[in-house]
Amino acid sequence: MTVKVPPHEIEEVRLTLGLILLILNWNTKTLGAKARIGRGELSKYTNGRLKATRRTWKKIEAATRLPHAELKALLPALRRLRAVAGGRGAAPPRSAADIARTVGSAVESLLRLEEPYLPEPAAETLELPPRPPEAADRLLAGDLWARLQGRTHSARLALVEEVPAYQSWALAEKLCAESIHAAADDPKEAVHLATLAWRVVERLSGEPAWLSLLAGYVWAHIGNARRVASDLPGAEEAFRLAWKLWKEGAVADIGLLDGSRLFDLEASLLRDQRKMAAALERLEQALAMHPAGERRGPILLKKGATLEQVGSYEAAVEALQEAVPWIDRDHEPRNFCVLRFNLNVCRCHASRFADAEAGLGELRALTAGQEMDRLKLRWLEGRIDGGLGRTAQAIEALLEARAGFSRQEIRYDEALISLELAGLYLQQGRTAEVKALVAAMEPVFRAQGVHTEAHKALALFRRAVELETVSLELVRRLVAYLYRAQHDPELRFEA
C-alpha cells in the first residue's frame, strides 16, 4: 500500500539520512544492517512511498548513536547553505550518493568553525583574482587529504567539486602521489585518486599555461593508474594528452611540479608494452632531471629492473649499485629492501654468486616476518648455494621455497624453481629424481598462471625428460628464458 508522504518530510528524511552517511562514512547497506532495516525499506523512506515513523528513527538512533533531534536541528542550516552554494531549484536527491553530494558542502561549511585553515567565504559581490601557486600551498594539502582519506568515493567527489578549500593545485599533486602509492595493492583506488585529482584541476582558476602544465602532470598519473589497472590503450591515450598539455604549459613552469614524473611513469607503460629501448630512454631523461636528490634512487631502481627484464644483468647490477646511496633505509624501507634483493638476484644472473652471498645477512634482517619475502629469500639462498657448489644445501633451500610458492598457488615461480632443481639433480646424475620431478610438475604444466609460450617451453622440457635426452645446458637455457618470459609473454623459447 502506497503512503502519501508530504514533500517536505521526504526531503527531511533524505537530508537526515545523507548527513548520517557522511558523518559515519557509511553506505545505505551498512546503515540498514546496523539498524536492522532492509535496503528496500530505506529506499521507500527516501522516495516517499513509506513514512519514517518515530519507531524507525529510534532504531536508526540506537544503531548510529546520533540523536535524531540534533540531526533534525541542523536541517534549516543545511538548506540555507545549499541555497547559497547554488542548490536552488535543483532536483531532489534520490540515491545514497546523491544524498551525500547534496549535503557534503553544507557539512564541511559547518565544520569550518573548527578548521582555521579553511577560509571564510567572500561576500557574493566580491570577486578576488586567483592567487599564483606557491610551494607553501603544500602545507595544507596533507590536512585536506587526511579529511578525504576515510571517506567514500562519492563523498570525496562531492567535496572537491563543491568546497573551494579542496580546489587546490597542491591537493591535486598530493592525490597524484597517493595514486602511485595505491597502485601496487589497489588499482581501482589508484584510478579513483588520479581521476579525483583531475576533478580538482577542472575547478581551478588561474593563468591558463600553469593550469595546462598541472593538467599534463595529472594526466600522466591517470595514465599510470590505467596501466596498473591493465588498461594499456587507455594509458597510452592518457600519456598522449599529458605530453600535449605539459608542453603547452611549459612557459609557466616555475619548478613546482616534478616534470621527471612524466618520463618515469611513461617508462613503466613502455616497459609493459615491451618497448624496452624506449622505456630505458625515458628513464635516462628522468635521471638527467635529477642529478641528485631523493627521486634519483627510485628511478635507478626502475632502470635496474628494466635492464634485468631484457637480460642485461651486468648493466642492471651497475644501475642498482648506483642507486644504493640515494635510497634511505629509514625513509624508504620498502624501496631499500627491493633494491638489496634485486641487486643480489641480478648478481646471481651474472654468475657473481660470492658477491650475492655477501649481501644475504642484510637481506635476512630486512625480510624477517614477511612470508612472501622469506620465500623469495630462501629461493635466492638456494641459487647462491647452487652457484657456489653447495648442491645439498641448494636442493634443501629450493625444495622449501617451491613448497611455499605451491601453497601460495604462484605457479610460474613454482615452475622456475622446479627447473632449477632439475638442473641440480642432473649435475648429480639423478635422472630418476628428474623424472619424478616432472611428474610432480604436471599440475604446474596445466596451470592457467603459466602463459602459452612458457607452457610450450615447459612441455619441451617434459618431452626431453621422457625421451631421456634432457641436458644440463637445456635446463640452464630454459631457466634463463623463463626469467625473461615472465615479463614478456610473447617471448619464444628457441629450442
Name the residue range of residue 451's domain.
Answer: 404-495
The pTM assigned to this predicted structure is 0.68
Computed from CA positions of residues 461, 462, 463, 468, in that sequence, does the dihedral angle turn out positive or negative? positive
Tell me which of 96, 128, 159 is where a domain ends: 159
> Does residue 90 lie within any of the structural domains?
yes
Measured CA to CA, the distance from residue 193 to residue 177 in angstroms comes to 9
Cell numbers describing residue 257:
611540479
Measured CA to CA, the distance from residue 297 to residue 446 in angstroms comes to 40
Whether the Cβ atoms of residue 386 and residue 397 lie closer than 8 Å to each other:
no
Measured CA to CA, the distance from residue 415 to residue 437 in angstroms comes to 10
Measured CA to CA, the distance from residue 266 to residue 216 in angstroms comes to 12
> Does residue 250 lie within any of the structural domains?
no
Whole-number pLDDT of residue 354: 94
> Does residue 258 lie within any of the structural domains?
no
DSSP codes joined into one string, 75-88: HHHHHHHHIIIIIT
> Does residue 26 lie within any of the structural domains?
yes
Whether the Cβ atoms of residue 218 and residue 168 lie closer than 8 Å to each other:
no
Number of structural domains (the chain) is 2
Tell me which of 123, 142, 159 is where a domain ends: 159
> Does residue 221 lie within any of the structural domains?
no
> Does residue 272 lie within any of the structural domains?
no
Whole-number pLDDT of residue 121: 41
Whole-number pLDDT of residue 113: 32
Whole-number pLDDT of residue 132: 79
End-to-end C-alpha distance for the chain, whole angstroms: 75
> Does residue 324 lie within any of the structural domains?
no
> Does residue 182 lie within any of the structural domains?
no
Whether the Cβ atoms of residue 102 and residue 93 lie closer than 8 Å to each other:
yes
Q: Measuring CA to CA, how many Å separate 102 from each of 88, 106, 363, 422?
A: 12, 8, 52, 65
H-type helices in 203-295, by residue range?
208-228, 232-248, 260-272, 276-288
Measured CA to CA, the distance from residue 143 to residue 149 in angstroms comes to 10
Q: Measuring CA to CA, how many Å separate 100 from each of 94, 107, 156?
A: 10, 10, 10
Tell me which of 100, 129, 159 is where a domain ends: 159
Spell out the per-residue pLDDT of the chain, length 495, in tens. Answer: 455 677 777 778 877 887 788 777 787 788 888 888 887 788 788 777 788 888 888 888 888 888 887 777 777 766 655 554 544 444 555 555 555 555 555 555 444 433 333 334 443 434 445 677 888 889 889 888 998 988 888 888 888 887 888 889 999 999 999 999 998 889 999 999 999 999 999 999 889 999 999 999 999 999 999 999 989 999 999 999 999 999 999 998 888 999 999 999 999 999 989 899 999 999 999 999 988 888 899 999 999 999 998 889 999 999 999 999 999 888 888 888 899 999 999 999 999 999 999 988 888 888 766 788 889 999 999 999 999 999 999 999 999 999 999 888 888 888 889 889 988 998 888 888 888 888 877 777 677 667 788 788 888 888 888 888 888 888 888 888 888 877 777 888 876
